[in-house]
Amino acid sequence: LGFFFAGGSTPLQYGSPAPSSSRDAAGSRSSLVADSSRNAPGRSRADLNSEVRHHRNIALEDPEHMNATQSPASSQQEGPRIFVWGTRICVTDVQLSFSRFIKEYVNMALEEDELIIDESGKQSAAAEADEPYYMQRLHEIFNTEEPYLNVNLQHIKAFDETLYRQIICYPADIIPYLDFIANEIFNESYPHSELQSQIQIRPFNADRTKNMRCLNPEDIDQLITINGMVIRISGLIPEMRQAFFECAICKNTNEVEVDRGHIEEPTICQNCNSNHCFMLIHNRSAFMDRQVIKLQESPDDMPAGETPCTVSLYAHGNLVDSVQPGDRVTVTGIYRVVPLRVNPRKRLVKTVYRTYIDVLHYRKIDAHRLKQQDLASKLPPQRVAQIKALAAKPDIYERLAHAIAPSIYEHQDIKKGILCQLFGGSKKTSADSSHGHWRSELNILLCGDPGTSKSQLLQYIHHLVPRGQYTSGQGSSAVGLTAYITRDPETKHFVLQTGALVLSDNGVCCIDEFDKMNESTRSVLHEVMVRHNYK
């Protein structure tokens, strides 16, 4: 944590004109529907929040139903064709396309977060360029025993654009069948593997990266990708996924799946034919962790003079505690709405809906920058060679200093000081207890005449550093810089709202108008500047 001082619309645009929805391109509405037990996935995922449907099989023998949207490979298959309810999306075609994608797609260019983990636990590039990339990902799951398969949607779009549009427009209907295919291929490749749970597909990197202010009703129940900064996270909330009921008379048991947050309590016992005799046994029910995260609009996307927009995120399973306040992330999830009730005990609802996002994937922006761990093993060899070649140049100090705020002329000494702050040093601890330790980061106090680009330098560092925070000393309070207690409107619990100092952990906190800060607020910074912690 470094310090840099200097002295001196609504998120939903309802009713706005919008182009025709892209759902028609993915699959037009139809009354043909079918689903079968052999194609259906296992237990419903909490992050998809898909409803339990009544399955039917329909054999389409009438040639009028054989339209151009059906692929030749699927039309030659025996048995009934399976469709998603209300669409012309054939489940069999989706499964065949995704199966070919897993077995045939070869990725030639890997990003840093797409490297394969080998048997030794180190990240490396693909072993063979002609080997299917996602088959290597399944081998990585076999080694790490983490049943989550991250799928880059740009890979699917390059392989089969129709499948890509179907996933974007109908994620809650399509992704469970993709999970089924991924588990089927994994079990065929590794029959002796014993995973604790089923493999789940986590799509990311969609084209529809939208600003938080541009979310509108046409995005409801579709897969979206947004950028922002995490400002608040809640504690772990146990969410029931399977309820266990026991008859109070004959002790007969019954397990009920939770459907969209509701439990259908059994009324009649099949054993003793008694009415309303079941009791819920909590310690034998199945629960899953859930967390409510508040995501704020990124400063880069915020219009000048506007208040930042926020949106609530719901994370489930191992996505809980994956991000911390201050992280800048790219979130891929399903845009949801839920009606507001006039009274929680009544069924009457308002016409206004509350929005949130069911998170399917996190992707941290510059996740490995300004960290204390050794990151040499996480960089590809080409990047390491490029850094070494740049470090060997004799004028590297001047090159980097000129690269900081190039739009501001001169001030080379100030830029070199900022450069030293960004790079930091080595944390040292003396063996002699009387000397203590030497911190690795330095603090900068920048003083000067008006109009000497002090605030512009602060703004540049704020946008450059991934966990940088910018605030003004005029009007700042001690609790605004550190933390304060507020009531969460979602859970109705008291939560700790973090301030600028906490959000800039492992980053730089830029405070403008430092001389106009009162003495009580300035005293909060003493311990933070010396020890880089606050109690």
pLDDT in tens, 262-282: 788 888 998 888 888 899 998
Cα separation, 235 vs 126, in Å, equals: 38
- pLDDT category at 237 given cuts 50, 70, 90 is confident
Tokens 């508040």 -> residue? 294
Q: Which amino acid is at 90?
A: C
- Would you say residue 110 has pLDDT above 90? no
Contacts of 248 (CB under 8 A, 6+ apart): 277, 278, 279
CATH of 23-207, one of 2.30.140.10, 3.30.70.260, 3.30.1640.10, 3.40.190.10: 3.30.1640.10
What pLDDT, on the 0 to 100 scale, is given for residue 97? Answer: 92
Within 234-274, strands assigned E span 237-247, 253-257
- pLDDT category at 338 given cuts 50, 70, 90 is confident
Task: Pick the closest to residue 155 from 201, 211, 212 (CA basis).
Answer: 201
Q: Which amino acid is at 340?
A: L
What is the DSSP pairing of strand 444-446 with strand 2-6? parallel
Beta bridge partners of 401: none
Same fold: 212-364 with 371-531:
no
Tokens of 197: 């749970």
Q: Are 357 and 313 in contact (CB under 8 A)?
A: yes
CA torsion, points 199, 205, 206, 210, in degrees to nearest 10? 130
Task: Pick the closest to residue 45 from 455, 266, 331, 334 (CA basis).
Answer: 334
CATH of 212-364, one of 3.90.1150.10, 3.40.50.620, 2.40.50.140, 2.60.40.1180: 2.40.50.140
Name the 3-class secondary structure at 69.
coil
Q: Are 484 and 497 in contact (CB under 8 A)?
A: yes
pTM here is: 0.67
Beta bridge partners of 339: 353
Q: Which residue has the higher pLDDT, 467 or 68?
A: 467
Q: Where are the domains of the chain?
A: 23-207, 212-364, 371-531
Q: Find how far residue 132's CA is from the centre of its chain.
A: 26
pLDDT in tens, 437-454: 677 778 888 888 888 888
Q: Are 361 and 264 in contact (CB under 8 A)?
A: no
- pLDDT category at 13 given cuts 50, 70, 90 is very low
Write the DSSP symbol of residue 317: G
Write down the CATH superfamily of domain 371-531: P-loop containing nucleotide triphosphate hydrolases (3.40.50.300)
